[in-house]
Structure 1
Amino acid sequence: MVDHFIMQMRPLFGEEEKKAICDYMDEDGFITEFKRTTQFEQMIADYTGARHCIVVNNGTISLTLAAMAVGVVAGDEVIVPNYTMIASPNAVKMFGAVPVFVDVERDTLCLDIELVKKAITPKTRAIMLVSANGRAPAAGIAAFEALAKEKGIALIEDSAQSLGSWFPDGRHVGRAGRVGSFSFSSPKIVSTGQGGALITDDDEIARRLRRLKDFGRSGGGNDIHDSIGFNFKFTELQACIGIEQMRKLPARVIRKKEIWKRYQEKLAGIDGVSVFPHDLALTAPWFIDVRVERREGLIDYLKQRNVGTRVMYPPITRQAAYDLPGDYPVAEDVGRRGLWLPSAVQLSDDEIDHVCEAIRDFYEGPKNR
C-alpha cells in the first residue's frame, strides 16, 4: 500500500555526496574547477571510452560549444529532431545558427534518416542526433556517420539522456559523432544539479572546447588569449558530487533496466497504453515513456492516486517560441499522447506496482474512465 505521493522524477544524493563536499570545504580550496573537476572528467572518459572529456556548467551550453567547435557559425543550418527538449535547437539559435526541424522514427524517437537526407541543403553544417531516452536510431548509427561523411557535415550527438547506453557496435552513445554531449541536470541518471559534459576522440576539437569554455585562454590561470572564448567553467563542488554519482552509475544502470522491465510486464495487455520499446542489452532507460489514450484524464486520475506524471515534449515547431509550419506526424502524435511515468532510480517495486494498478484501474475499472 502506497500512502505518499510518487514524484515523476527526483534526484538521489546521499551521505557520500555530503561528505565529499564537506571534506573539500575543509581543504580551503578555491571552489572553481581544478583537480576534482579533472578527476570527474577522467571518470566520464574512462566510462565512455572517449579520449577527451570536457565538463561545462550545463548541458545546453555543451551543445552550443560542440556546434562552435565543429565550425558552425551564424547563418549555418543545423538539422535537429522536432521531438527533443527545446535546449537542442536553442543551443545553436543562441549564436545565430538556424535549426532545421525533421520528424523522428516512431519507436526510437530518433531522427528519421530519410527525412534528414531531404532536409540537407548547401547551408547545412551539422546534424544534431538526439538519442531519445538512450535509444539509438533504428536506421543504425553507421548510416548517420556515413551520411555526414558523404555530405561533408558534422555529426553532433545530443546524448543528454544517454549516459549508460551503448550502440550495438560496442561504443558508448556519444562516441559516434565528432562530439557527444551529456547533461547532469537534476532528472538525469547522474546529476550535479546543473552541468554538462562533452566527449570527443579528436584532439583539435578538444583543444577548441577547452578554450571556448575558458575565455579562449592559451593555458590555465593566465590572461593570454589565443582565440575568442567565454566563461562556461565547472566548479569543484559540482565535481565532488559528480565523482560520487559516477561511482553509483553502474548500479543505477542496472536498476533503471529493472524498473523499465517491471513497468513493461505490469502494463502489458492494457488497451490504451503502449510502452516505448527498449533493448535492455544496450539501453538504460532514463524515463519510462508511454503512449496513452485519454491522456489528460489519466493524468488527473493518477494525481488523485498520488502518482505524478509529466507530458512528453511537444513538437518544437508547435511551441510559441518557434511557431513554424510543417507536417511532423510522429512528433505531433507524441505531443498528443506521450507521457512519462514515475522513473526515479530510487523507485521501489511497490511504488511501480501502485502506478501500474492505478493505470489499469483507469482503463479497465467498472466505470471505464
Structure 2
Amino acid sequence: MDFIDLKTQYAALRDPIQQRMQRVLDHGQYIMGPEVAELETALAARTGTAHCITVSSGTEALLISLMALGIQPGDEVITTPFTFAATAEVIALLGAVPVWVDVEEDTGLIDANLIEAAITPKTKAIMPVSLYGQVPDMDAINAIAAAHGNLPVIEDAAQSFGARYHDRESCNLSTFGCTSFFPSKPLGCYGDGGAIFTHDDALAQACREIRIHGQSKRYTHTRIGVGGRMDTLQCAIVLAKLERFAWEVQQRMQLGQAYNALCDAAGIPRMQQREGRTSVFAQYTVRVSQREQLQEQLKAAGIPTAVHYPIPMNQQPAYQGLCDRPTPVADRLATEVMSLPMSADLTQAQQQQVMQALTSVLSNT
C-alpha cells in the first residue's frame, strides 16, 4: 500500500495529462507558455480571487508574498512552530523574526486566542498555517490584524487547497493565500510548483515582477526579485488534474469522515475538524503514544505511516534562539501525531486494512 497513491491517480488521468504535456512539447514555450496564464485564470476562478500568480513552489509563494509586503530585517512575523520548515524559513531568509504562537490542542492549528499577546510594534504580518487540510480561524485572525493597523495576513495553504471556511475557499480568506503543488498535495504536479492568491492589484503586480527577477519588462528590474516561475509543463499537469479535482475533494472528505467514524468507534484519538470548515484531508492524523514502536509494527503489517511534524520549528537547531515564546501544546503534539495512508483513490478495503492493523497493534501495546 502506498502512503499516497499517485499511480492510480495517473492511470485515471493518463490521457489528459499526456495530451496537455504533448501540447507543451509541440509549442516549445517551456517558460511562461500559454498554460501558465490558463492555469492562473482557472485557479483564480475556482477560489474566487482577483489574482493568481503561479510560482516555482509553495515556499517561493510565501517568500514572494513577504517580499511584496516589504518585510525587512528585524521585522516580526507571527506564525506557528507546528509546521513544515518552509513557513519559518522564508521569514528568516529575509532577516525577519518568526514569532511563535502555540496551537490548538484538538486541531494543531494556530490558536487565534493567543495571537494578540504576541503582537509588538515590530509585528509586520501574521502567517497562519492551514494544517492537515483544514483552515484556521481566519475570521478571528483577520479581526485581530485589522485591530492592529490592518496587519497583512498570509495564509500558508500548502495543505488546504480545495477546503472551505464558512463557504469561502482556502486561499481567498486574507491578504494573501499561498499554496503548493508538490506531488503529495491535494492538487499536485509532478515536480515543484505553487501559487499566490490575492485581491490586491498592487500586491499582485509586485508578485508578478518579483517572480521574474523583479522585472517590470524585459531587462528592466524595478525591484529585487527571484527566479520564481512555475514552468509550463507543470502548469499543464495541474490543468489536467483540475478536470477531476472536484471529485477528488469529495472523495477525500468521504474518506476522512469514514476514518473519523472508525477511529471514534475504536477509541483512537484523532485531530478534529471544526464546524463551518471543510477539510481536504491532505493528511489523516491520529494521536498515539509509543509512536516509533507503533510505526515499526504497522510497517511490518504493510501499512506506511508518516509524521507531520516530529520536531516543532522552535526546537529545530537552525531556529533555536530566534524566538523564546513557549509552545507547550505544539511540543506535545509533535511527540504524538501520526498520519495514516490517505489519497482520493484509497479504497474502502484499504481503509479497513489500515484500521484493522492499527487497532490490532494498539491492543497489543
Q: Aligned-pair distance for 1:57? A: 0.4
Q: 1:56 touches 1:196 (CA, 8 Å); kept in 2? A: yes
The reply to whether residue 187 of structure 1 matches residue 213 of structure 2 is no
| Cα deviations by residue, 1:320-360 (Å, 9 ceiling, x for unpaired) | 22234553121112111001110122211111110000011
SS at 2:132 equivalent: helix
Could you say which residue in structure 1 is the equivalent of 2:168?
A: 171
Aligned in 2, Cα 1:102/1:241: closer, same or farther, shift over 3 Å? same
Letter in 2 for 1:237: L
SS at 1:285 equivalent: coil
Could you say which residue in structure 1 is the equivalent of 2:73?
A: 74
Query: In structure 2, what is the Cα distance between the partners aligned to 1:23 and 1:135?
Result: 35
The reply to whether residue 232 of structure 1 matches residue 231 of structure 2 is no
Residues 229-308 of structure 1 mapped to structure 2, 5 A cutoff:
229-271=225-267, 273-278=268-273, 282-308=278-304
Query: In structure 2, what is the Cα distance between the partners aligned to 1:265 and 1:167?
Result: 22
The reply to whether residue 218 of structure 1 matches residue 216 of structure 2 is yes
Query: In structure 2, what is the Cα distance between the partners aligned to 1:350 and 1:151?
Result: 51
Q: 1:270 touches 1:363 (CA, 8 Å); kept in 2? A: no
Letter in 2 for 1:25: L
Q: Aligned-pair distance for 1:19? A: 2.5
Q: 1:59 touches 1:195 (CA, 8 Å); kept in 2? A: yes
Could you say which residue in structure 2 is the equivalent of 1:352?
A: 351
Could you say which residue in structure 2 is the equivalent of 1:20?
A: 20
| Cα deviations by residue, 1:229-254 (Å, 9 ceiling, x for unpaired) | 22111211111101011222101101
Could you say which residue in structure 2 is the equivalent of 1:196?
A: 194
Could you say which residue in structure 2 is the equivalent of 1:340?
A: 339
Q: 2:134 touches 2:277 (CA, 8 Å); kept in 1? A: no
CA RMSD of superposed structures (Å): 1.6
Could you say which residue in structure 2 is the equivalent of 1:3?
A: none
Could you say which residue in structure 2 is the equivalent of 1:45?
A: 44
Could you say which residue in structure 2 is the equivalent of 1:109?
A: 108
Q: Aligned-pair distance for 1:87? A: 0.6
SS at 2:220 equivalent: coil
Could you say which residue in structure 2 is the equivalent of 1:315?
A: 312
The reply to whether residue 126 of structure 1 matches residue 122 of structure 2 is no
Q: Aligned-pair distance for 1:281? A: 6.3
Letter in 2 for 1:239: C
Letter in 2 for 1:306: G
| Cα deviations by residue, 1:189-216 (Å, 9 ceiling, x for unpaired) | 1111211100000100101000110122
Could you say which residue in structure 1 is the equivalent of 2:31?
A: 32
SS at 1:132 equivalent: coil
Unaligned runs of 5+ in 2: none
- Identity percentage of aligned residues: 31
SS at 2:358 equivalent: helix
Normalising by structure 2, report the TM-score: 0.93
SS at 2:216 equivalent: coil
Query: In structure 2, what is the Cα distance between the partners aligned to 1:326 and 1:217?
Result: 39
Structure 1 stretches (4+) deviating beyond 3 angstroms? none
Aligned in 2, Cα 1:117/1:161: closer, same or farther, shift over 3 Å? same
| Cα deviations by residue, 1:15-53 (Å, 9 ceiling, x for unpaired) | 1212221232123x2211121000011111011000000
Q: Aligned-pair distance for 1:226? A: 2.3
| Cα deviations by residue, 1:67-112 (Å, 9 ceiling, x for unpaired) | 1112211211101101111110001111211111111111222211
SS at 2:58 equivalent: coil
Letter in 1 for 2:94: F
SS at 1:204 equivalent: helix
Query: In structure 2, what is the Cα distance between the partners aligned to 1:337 and 1:234?
Result: 36
Letter in 2 for 1:315: P
Could you say which residue in structure 1 is the equivalent of 2:156?
A: 158
SS at 2:153 equivalent: strand
Letter in 1 for 2:96: A
Normalising by structure 1, report the TM-score: 0.92
Letter in 2 for 1:261: Q
Could you say which residue in structure 1 is the equivalent of 2:145?
A: 148
Q: 1:70 touches 1:178 (CA, 8 Å); kept in 2? A: no
Q: 2:216 touches 2:222 (CA, 8 Å); kept in 1? A: yes
Query: In structure 2, what is the Cα distance between the partners aligned to 1:49 and 1:9?
Result: 29
Query: In structure 2, what is the Cα distance between the partners aligned to 1:116 and 1:363?
Result: 37
| Cα deviations by residue, 1:282-332 (Å, 9 ceiling, x for unpaired) | 222211011112212211111011010001212111122223455312111
Q: 2:58 touches 2:179 (CA, 8 Å); kept in 1? A: yes
Which segment is superposed worse, 330-339 or 11-20? 11-20
Query: In structure 2, what is the Cα distance between the partners aligned to 1:296 and 1:318?
Result: 19
SS at 2:215 equivalent: coil
Q: 1:127 touches 1:156 (CA, 8 Å); kept in 2? A: yes
SS at 1:82 equivalent: coil
Q: 2:252 touches 2:281 (CA, 8 Å); kept in 1? A: yes
Q: 1:7 touches 1:309 (CA, 8 Å); kept in 2? A: no
Q: Aligned-pair distance for 1:134? A: 2.9
